[in-house]
Amino acid sequence: MQPPLAWPPTLCERCMSELTGILLDLFIIYLAAKLAAEVFERIRQPAVIGELLAGLAIGPHALGLIGTPDAALVAAFHGDAAAAAEGMRLVYHVLAELGVVVLLFFVGLETRVADILRVGRRAALVAVLGVVVPFALGYALFGTVLGHPATEASFVAAAMVATSVGITARVLRDLGVIRSSESRIILGAAVIDDILAMIILAVVVGMASTGGVSAAGIALIAGQALGFTLFVVLVGTGLARRYALRLDRLRMDGAPLAVSLLAMLGLATLSASVGLAAIIGAFLAGMVFAEAREHFLLERQALPIYQFLVPFFFVLTGSNVDWRLFTDPGTLGIALTVTALALAGKLVGGGAGMLGTGRRSMAIVGVGMAPRGEVGLIVAGIGFSLGAIPSEVFGVVVMMSVLTTVVVPPVLKILYRGQPADLARAGGQAGQAGRLPEL
């Protein structure tokens, strides 16, 4: 007896909606992210590095498991395979953007204006010098020595600036020294660092968009970025202090989270519309709602959204890296030089900020500020998607982010060897910048 339908093959070719292939890609991305996170946690390396390498492995430059439209999607684009691929790329760009917007919102939630003001001058000095020195070194290498265009050199220098404090905080907590004075300075400086990095990013995005590199243009963009930041922080924090605690008077379900997510999307859009990066607005929205985070457990509520969306950012960023670039000795040499300068910049800058506290403290702070982790990747990703840096420079920055991040944990452990660990691992100060979950 013959079946009335040419069953499995026909069904599966005809039944698949345009989304099935994308759903499969999303599953592969999330699976790769979680497998990598598990493996990297077990070998005591940052999970975020694992996710990045997982993206590199499954991406189009290696295994090619994701990013190819299937027949159903091509059919939905009227048979135009190039348009289907472009549509798919847009979908993943949006998902990665939502991931990084949520990531920066979460970082913002951990950054309270009052906490920054309290950190003291030492942390501010460490932050500023730890930003200026690596930027200068990066710009000198790419702009002056290698002769790349100013915008490209600025993006590389900007990626060398920011500290990824989550990884250092995790190591310090694992070592039981999170309440040491060095730890507090590192965590405080990292917060100021984030804000400085956002402003620098705004300037380089503005430069890339306008092509303008005149001193007046840069001053204008920097002024706008600073003005936007100050306006949102001052007005927003005031509003949040005054009204945020009344958010539960709203009748809709989960109003505090909903309003904070609304602010995240709104400020991300606003900052993108005025020529800054969307993540700057998301970060500021988080900072504004940091005022009400304890009352409404906003961090605990934002965390599952983070855990669902952020891996898409790292895996998709990794998938853009063409590992074959590093088989070229020239590119590899540049990547190693940039990494060395990034490490030296933070050691010299952060160490100089600690002058007078003894060599060991200078070394601990300098090394603790060194991981670039996700922040370097974010800057590189923006530069790449704006077309401001070419593929090989993108790869160089990704390599620098990975290497500066993986060398830090062992070196910190050596520097703290023989020091007494404090027992109050989950103390009040510790929570401040240490709550960023490992991905």
Residues 286-305 that bind its own copies (CB under 8 A): 301-305
Q: Is 136 in the site for its own copies (CB under 8 A)?
A: no
3-state secondary structure 398-423: HHHHHHHHHHHHHHHHHHCCCCCCCC
CA dihedral 325, 326, 328, 334 (to 10 degrees): 100
The size of the interface with its own copies (CB under 8 A), counted in residues, is 82
Place of tokens 């603790």: 368
For the bound state, the minimum distance from the C-beta of residue 301 to its own copies, rounded and expressed in Å, comes to: 5
- Chosen residue from 9, 15, 294, 356 binding its own copies by CB under 8 A: 15
Measure the CA–CA gap between 198 and 220, rounded to whole angstroms: 15
Name the residue nearer to its own copies (CB basis): 256 or 371.
Answer: 256
Give least dist CB 15 to its own copies, A. Answer: 3
- Restricting to residues 359-398, name those near its own copies by CB under 8 A: 385-386
**Running DSSP on this structure, what letter comes out for residue 149?**
-
For residue 198, give the amino acid letter. Answer: M
DSSP 290-344: GGGHHHHTHHHHHHHHHHHHHHHHHHHHHHT--GGGGGSHHHHHHHHHHHHHHHH
DSSP 144: I
Site for its own copies in 252-281 (CB under 8 A): 252-255, 257-259, 261-262, 265-266, 268-269, 272-275, 278
Site pattern 303..332 for its own copies (x: CB under 8 A): xxx-xx------------------------
Task: Work out whether 12 is an interface residue with its own copies (CB under 8 A).
Answer: yes
Restricted to residues 146-205, the positions that interact with its own copies (CB under 8 A) are: 205
- Cα–Cα distance for residue pair 326/422, rounded to 1 Å: 42
Measured N-to-C along each axis, helices 278-289 and 81-109 cross at an angle, to the nearest 10 degrees, of 30
Using CB under 8 A as the binding rule, the residues of this chain from 58 to 97 that contact its own copies are: 73, 76-77, 80, 83, 86-88, 90-91, 93-95, 97
Site for its own copies in 26-55 (CB under 8 A): 26-27, 30-31, 34, 37-38, 41-42, 47
Sign of dihedral through CA atoms 274, 280, 283, 284? negative
The distance of closest approach from Cβ of residue 219 to its own copies in the complex, given in angstroms and rounded to an integer, is 10
CB 6 to its own copies: min, Å: 9
By beta-carbon proximity to its own copies, the closer residue of 149 and 326 is: 149
Toward its own copies, which CB reaches closer, 75 or 132? 75
- Helix or strand or coil: residue 261? helix
| Beta carbon nearer to its own copies, 156 or 302 | 302
Positions 223 through 252 that interact with its own copies (CB under 8 A): 250-252
**Residue 9 engages its own copies in binding (rule: CB under 8 A):** no
| C-alpha dist (Å) from residue 47 to 32, 36, 112, 338 | 12, 7, 26, 23
